[in-house]
Amino acid sequence: MIDKELLEIMACPQCKAAVKLEGEKIVCTNPGCGLCYPIRDGIPVMLIDEAEKPQSR
């Protein structure tokens, strides 16, 4: 689980917007970006090359 305080200071590496936790992913809150970053072994992988493009919601 990601610490709430850590999540509050994290930002999307692509667009610098705030992020939120959704299941086992860190998701950019910017609707124009929306990249999803994986969490592996409890560590967020905040690399643009590792991010998944947003799916239609």
Q: Which pLDDT score, from 0 to 100, does residue 43 have?
A: 92
Q: Which pLDDT score, from 0 to 100, does residue 21 have?
A: 96
Question: Does residue 40 lie in a domain region?
Answer: yes
Q: How many domains does the chain have?
A: 1
Question: Does residue 57 lie in a domain region?
Answer: no
Helices (H), 1-57: 4-9
Question: Does residue 19 lie in a domain region?
Answer: yes
For the stretch 13-56, pLDDT in tens is 999 999 999 999 999 999 999 999 999 999 999 999 999 997 75
Q: What angle do CA 48, 13, 50 make, to 5 degrees?
A: 20
Q: Which pLDDT score, from 0 to 100, does residue 56 have?
A: 58
d(CA 49, CA 25): 15
In this predicted structure, the answer to whether residue 4 has a pLDDT above a threshold of 60 is: yes
